[in-house]
Amino acid sequence: MDWRQRRIPNTLVFPVIAVGLWYQWEGELLAGAVLGVAGAFLLTVGPVILKGMGMGDQKLLMAVGAWTSWSVVYSLFLHSIILCLIVMVFYPQNWARLRNNLQIIAAGWTAHRQVWLPGREKTAFSFPYAVYLLGAFVLQSVRDVIGASG
């Protein structure tokens, strides 16, 4: 759903968050889940404000937090950003857009002391975050399985 349409419906993430919190409450791990949800929100506020990530991606990471904990959310967030940066290196067309966007931001700040951000379709930072979150989850799970068996 995210790769092409770049949308994650609320009808999907809100029930996942609610059931995750309920599940953690039943297992007496609610505090860890609430910290996971709050941590995911705080980690993604900056990228959402800078239009590098959509609010659906933010809510998806919050859903992960509802089912896990702050430490898992933080680890997945960092691994997914690193994975995204690695992939971005192999797409040089983004480099020119990134340079242009930084020039626009610098010009807006210099002239008017305002940060001018390009639209979502023109930003070099905008990416389908859910795809990289899934990739980071798979890599982290494989690492955990290999670590547990070795």
Q: Are 8 and 2 in contact (CB under 8 A)?
A: yes
- What pLDDT is attached to residue 109? 64
Per-residue pLDDT of the chain (150 residues; tens, 9 = 90+): 545 666 788 888 899 999 999 999 988 889 999 999 999 999 998 888 777 778 888 999 999 999 988 999 999 999 998 988 888 788 777 777 777 767 777 777 677 766 555 555 555 455 678 888 888 988 888 888 888 775
Q: How is the chain split into domains, by residue range?
A: 2-149
- What pLDDT is attached to residue 141? 84
DSSP 13-43: HHHHHHHHHHHHHHTT-HHHHHHHHHHHHHH
Residue ranges of alpha helices (H) inside 50-123 are: 55-67, 70-89, 93-112
pTM check: above 0.85: no
